[in-house]
Amino acid sequence: MVTVRRPRTPSTGPFTTARGLLPLIVVCTFLFALPILMLVIGAFRNAPPGLPAEWSFDAFTRTYTDPASYETLKNSVLLSGGGTIMATVVALVLAFMVSRTTTPLRTLVTPAMVLVVALPPLFYAISWGMLGNPTIGLLNTTWRDLTGSEGTLFDVNSWAGLLLVATVKGAAFSYLLLLGPFRAIDRSLEEAAQVSGAGRLRTLLGIDLVVLAPAITGVVILNFVIGLESFDVPLFLGTPAGIDVFSTQIYGYITNSSPADYGGASALSLLLVVLVMVLVVVQWKVLGRRTYTTVSGKSYRTEAWDIGAWKWLGTAFILAYLLVAILLPLLQLVLGSLQPFFGGEGVYSLTNYETLFNEPATVTALQTTLMVALVGGLIAMALALLIVYAIAHNESRWRRLLDLLTWLPWAVPGVVLSLGIAWTYVSIPGLRNLYGSIIVVMTGLVVAAIPIATRSVQPAIGQITRELEEASRVSGAPPMRMFFGIVLPLIMPSFLAGWFVVAIVISGNLAIPILLSSAQNPTVPLLVYELYTQGQTARAAALFVIVLGALLIGLVVMGGLSALLRRRFNAAPDGPGGTLPDDPGNAPVPQVADQPEPEPVGSR
Amino acid sequence: MSGVRIAGLVKEFGGSTAVEHLDLDIAPGEFVTLLGPSGCGKTTTLRCLAGLEVPTRGEISIADRVVYSDTAGTFVPPDKRDIGMVFQSYGLWPHMTVAGNVGYPLKLAKVAKAQAREQVADMLGRVGLAERIDQMATSLSGGQQQRVALARAMVNRPTLMLFDEPLSNLDAKLRLSMRAQIRELHDSLGTTSVYVTHDQEEAIALADRVVVMNTGLIEQVGTPRELYRHPASAFVADFMGFQNILQGTVGDVLAGGYVVGVAGTNTAVRVAGAAPGPVGTPVAVAFRASHVCVNADRSADATRLTGRIQASTYLGSCMRVLVDLGGALVRAQVDEGELHRFGPDDLSPGHEVTLSVPAGQVVGLPGDDGATGTPAPRVAATVTG
């Protein structure tokens, strides 16, 4: 018997072997898993990060016997549960009206929803915080002017306010996820029900809702998870009313107690992480590991249902939503930013903007944020691209590990992530010098953006058929040359779009910098929060308007760029797959994705 | 000097075996097709040749250079194998023009720009796409795209050309002209070509030699005519379009031939050539429907088979008749020009007919020993070209 020496498996391309995957697994473990591991270790230590400590259950006993913790748990569940139910109902009504009826103004809904999803949660926190301010908010002053009464119509710093804003944001998210399944319902199912004698309403409730049940369940769980992880809105609107949820309580443990109670914060974080992970696993079971359902290619005959006079009620509903979700907050933010003092008498002026631009700290923060958004966004996209590409090409079983690792940041709320990163950088000797630097903030922002970045490159990579890569290898291209010469150019439009989206998400993120930024390098969201809590509301609004303005400029640049790219890619008048005389008509041409599906952006 | 040498090639995916054992020598300049049903391992073999899959065991050399050897630990990546490959779905890069696609291998080989331009123009001229040079590659029609892919694969004069079912996405008419073009380019450029297909007509029309594969093993290797006339197994016969394959045993050995008793019937078929064994040896006979002569008169004759028509289908050019010999079914064919020999009802179901098959058109095959219903045992052939 001759023993054959087993040489190591040769690699046919980048990331195909376990060996090729190793560096990526190391990086991802460091970025995604280490913070959580450090958090767990930290929860069992009886001293703040960086100090000598002993193992102890102290933090756990303290946190888990404190009734306040269960109050927080109750609040979190109530807020995200209530918000999810209302958001799903609103989303279902809107999705139904848009996809199945002739309701006037229905075409406005989808673009509006994309906008609502894209606007950072911070936008809603600050604008609704101003709008529903009991004494000087636009809503209440207008009410008083109109009725002459002295009362308050609506105080946003309350359960009602929290739920309203959660519903508005969640509805947009659910709507975009439900519209696809709604459109994809096989009409023959409905016709069969109607032929069998079911009325239209009965068909809607008995057939459509049942068919949609899996999709709705998935969206409900997803929304619930996002609700549990939400930070900005509860911080702005809940804290003043004394309503604490998980994320704000964790933050409170660190900022409101002296010395900061890192152990308590970590112990509470673990409860939240476990809760979220259970939900994520349940959601995988329901949705099959997809976080969104795409519209299927098959199109059915669309016959819009004329719902008679009800359609005017529908229009009113759409208008009310647009008012609450976009028009009023924007109006309040811009008006507020033009007042020298929020709610004070006086002429509208640009004083706030002048002050902001004359303050070196603000200008630095704007520059820092722009830099972090662009560089961090690029890093997140590059990392996401490598991860997605590697998972698609690797043939070893290690790719499952990588796949699992990338789902970690999704299941960890921003505050918890930044807490874990704080533990990591303070506890590990070599990394300690970096603590408080912008690099640490950027690391956190990159990790937080990975789920969105991954989802924006996934469809593009999926659309590149393996033959395109193989043709390049056979033509004489080494692996790297193939990646940069073929793969990268092909996904460039999606990559740029994803980069832009990720940059928006990063520039609006408050949860990461609030724990990781030092006073020397705040990002804009942190500055907005500080101004707001210091009572400089008008100036905070002005700062946020500047951010929105920058986004608008970015959007225009992006639009121009993608139009340019599209022209380069699809120069042919017919475009790919055009039918020419001798075309059998089934040429499987890889389509370069113009634009990914509306992504669940800024969902936290 | 050899074009390609494959020795003891084995490829396993996880638990399943795609190529069980394969030995094949291909001469320089030879055109070989790998023919077989899907899942037979032909594409895996091709991808191992290209270096797109790493074999599990064995040795592969291209133009006397070892590109894979498990014992020596050699693996030459695809980009260093000096090959050209044409894919099923063309594999053209949508972000490049026709010239960009075709010129890519030259760019990677660092051919001087002026010379590369000349070579691209020359190659596109050969495939008849000279005027499309500046169009985006994927804006062309399917047939044109495949010709661009062909030009791209051949532009740098590779020592070995690989084709992975390149015509299966094209319509029938286009397939014929592309087929001719592929063979013509092969001949004029003098490359060695390996071509994978599941279409026997394509394999026969293109190749110098056809390799028929089944479940990861070679069934038979031979020239198209050898395979068409003398399939070595029931599997190959079936693949080569023998509509009738009947199991039986050697009934009698005669001078220059033998008689096979068809199992389950009391009829016998004469076969030319040496008998595979003494009387009683299991054997199968194969013959084409077009070689069966149908007669309406029932003159009994030792060389004739008697049966009852079970179904008949008029196809325009001929009439297809399914005849029940009382235990075995035979497919026969009567050309349109011959139909006048029969009465109006002679070929309708229920009527008795006699059939005769010239002994020279009947192929004797290794018989089924009755244990299984699957085709005859396979030959793991080692063939030198």
B173-191 residue pLDDT tens: 889 999 999 999 999 999 9
Domain A13-35+353-569+589-604 CATH (choose: 3.30.160.250, 1.10.3720.10, 3.30.70.20, 3.30.413.10): 1.10.3720.10
At position B330, the amino acid (one-letter code) is V
Instruction: Quick: pLDDT tens for A530-557.
Output: 999 898 888 999 999 999 999 889 888 8
Characterise A59 by phi-psi region: left (phi > 0), alpha (psi -120 to 50), beta (else): alpha
Return d(Cα B232, Cα B219) in angstroms, integer.
8
Distance from CA of A567 to the nearest CA of B (A): 11
Q: Is the same domain home to B199 and B305?
A: no
Q: Is the pLDDT of residue A294 over 60?
A: no
Q: Is the same domain home to B190 and B318?
A: no
Instruction: Quick: pLDDT tens for B331-368.
Output: 999 998 888 888 888 888 988 888 888 888 899 998 76
pLDDT at position B78, please? 93
Return d(Cα A469, Cα A487) in angstroms, integer.
7
Q: Is the same domain home to B42 and B188?
A: yes
B85 is a domain residue: yes
A571 at interface of B, judged by CB pairs closer than 8 A: yes
B268 is a domain residue: no
B332 is a domain residue: yes
Q: Is the same domain home to B92 and B213?
A: yes
- Using a pLDDT cut of 90, give the percent of chain A over it: 34
Distance from CA of B108 to the nearest CA of A (A): 6
B250 is a domain residue: no
Q: Is the pLDDT of residue B370 over 60?
A: no
Tell me what the mean pLDDT of segment B277-291 comes to.
90
Say what angle helices A262-287 and A213-229 make with each other, to 10 degrees.
170
ipTM for this prediction? 0.84
Q: Is the pLDDT of residue B372 over 70?
A: no
pLDDT at position B369, please? 54
pLDDT at position A589, please? 32
Q: Is the pLDDT of residue A592 over 80?
A: no
* Sheet order of strands, B293-295 included: B293-295, B352-356, B305-314, B318-324, B329-335
pLDDT at position A568, please? 66
Q: What φ, ψ does residue B165 adopt, rounded to 5°?
A: 40, 55
Tell me what the mean pLDDT of segment B51-56 comes to.
92
Highest-confidence segment of A302-306, A568-572, B159-163: B159-163
Out of A9, A468, A471, closest to residue B54 by CB? A9
Residue matched to tokens 């192929």: B363
Instruction: Quick: pLDDT tens for A488-535.
Output: 999 988 898 899 989 999 999 999 999 888 777 889 999 999 999 898
Contact B104 A575 (CB under 8 A): no
Using CA of residue A370, residue A374, residue A380, residue A384, what is the dihedral sign?
A: positive
From residue A189, give the alpha-carbon distance in Å to each of A101, A197, A209: 18, 13, 12
Distance from CA of B79 to the nearest CA of A (A): 4
Tell me what the mean pLDDT of segment A71-90 comes to.
94
Work out how many CB contacts closer than 8 A connect A with B: 139
Q: Is the same domain home to B110 and B187?
A: yes
Contact B77 A478 (CB under 8 A): yes
Q: Do domains A13-35+353-569+589-604 and A66-296+314-339 have the same CATH topology?
A: yes
A207 and A320 Cβ atoms separated by less than 8 Å: no
Domain boundary among B197, B229, B261: B229
Out of A468, A476, A584, closest to residue B109 by CB? A476
Q: What is the CATH number of the domain that holds B92?
A: 3.40.50.300
Out of B94, B142, B156, closest to residue A590 by CB? B94
B218 is a domain residue: yes
pLDDT at position A599, please? 39
Q: Is the pLDDT of residue A593 over 60?
A: no
Q: Is the same domain home to B348 and B199?
A: no
Q: Is the same domain home to B224 and B323?
A: no
Partners of A11 on chain B (C-beta within 8 Å) are: 77
Contact A587 B85 (CB under 8 A): no
* Whole-number average pLDDT of chain A: 83
pLDDT at position B110, please? 94
pLDDT at position B323, please? 92
Enumerate long-range contacts of B116-119, CB under 8 Å, 24 or more apart: B119/B155, B119/B156
A593 to chain B: closest CA residue: B94
A396 to chain B: closest CA residue: B14
Please name which of A15, A454, A383, A495 lies closest in space to residue B95, comparing C-alpha atoms: A495
Tell me what the mean pLDDT of segment A18-22 comes to.
84
pLDDT at position A590, please? 34
Residues comprising chain A, all counted = 604
pLDDT at position A395, please? 78
pLDDT at position B5, please? 95
User: Which tokens go with B159?
Assistant: 């020592």
Q: Cis link prior to A259 (omega < 30° from 0)? A: yes
Q: What is the CATH number of the domain that holds B341?
A: 2.40.50.100
Residue B23: count other Cβ atoms within 10 Å of its Cβ.
18
Instruction: Give residue B232's pLDDT band: very low, low, confident or very high (50, 70, 90).
Output: very high
A305 and A101 Cβ atoms separated by less than 8 Å: yes
Out of B109, B138, B171, closest to residue A584 by CB? B171
Partners of A572 on chain B (C-beta within 8 Å) are: 135-136, 138-139
Contact A576 B139 (CB under 8 A): yes
Out of B83, B135, B149, closest to residue A572 by CB? B135
Return d(Cα B134, Cα A358) in angstroms, integer.
54
Q: Is the pLDDT of residue A586 over 60?
A: no
User: Which tokens go with A528?
Assistant: 């907005």
Range with lowest mean pLDDT among A81-85, A214-218, A449-453? A214-218
pLDDT at position A585, please? 33
User: Which tokens go with B100?
Assistant: 């960009």
Distance from CA of A451 to the nearest CA of B (A): 28
B244 is a domain residue: no
Instruction: Give residue A423's pLDDT band: very low, low, confident or very high (50, 70, 90).
Output: confident
Q: Is B194 exposed, middle or buried (0-12, 13-18, 19+ CB in 10 A)?
A: buried
Q: How far apart are the first and last CA of chain A?
A: 62
Residues 438-497, chain A, touching B (beta carbon < 8 A): 465, 467-468, 470-479, 481-482, 486, 489-490
pLDDT at position B302, please? 59
pLDDT at position B63, please? 93
Instruction: Quick: pLDDT tens for A234-280.
Output: 999 999 899 999 999 999 988 887 788 888 888 888 888 888 888 87
Q: How many domains does chain B have?
A: 2
Q: Is A111 exposed, middle or buried (0-12, 13-18, 19+ CB in 10 A)?
A: exposed
Q: What φ, ψ does residue B125 adopt, rounded to 5°?
A: -65, -40
Contact B77 A12 (CB under 8 A): yes
Q: Is the same domain home to B225 and B316?
A: no
A563 at interface of B, judged by CB pairs closer than 8 A: no
Tell me what the mean pLDDT of segment A410-439 comes to.
86
pLDDT at position A303, please? 66
More confident residue, A19 or A595: A19
B196 is a domain residue: yes
Using CA of residue A213, residue A219, residue A222, residue A227, what is the dihedral sign?
A: negative
Return d(Cα B28, Cα B2) in angstroms, integer.
6
CATH-assigned architecture of domain A66-296+314-339: Orthogonal Bundle (1.10)
Residue B302, domain extent: 293-356
Distance from CA of B206 to the nearest CA of A (A): 22
Contact B70 A4 (CB under 8 A): yes
Distance from CA of B95 to the nearest CA of A (A): 5
Q: Which of B53, B80, B89 to mutate to test the interface with A (most CBs of A within 10 A)?
A: B89
Residue A197: count other Cβ atoms within 10 Å of its Cβ.
7
The angle subtended at Cα A179 by Cα A175 and Cα A184, nearest 5°, is 160
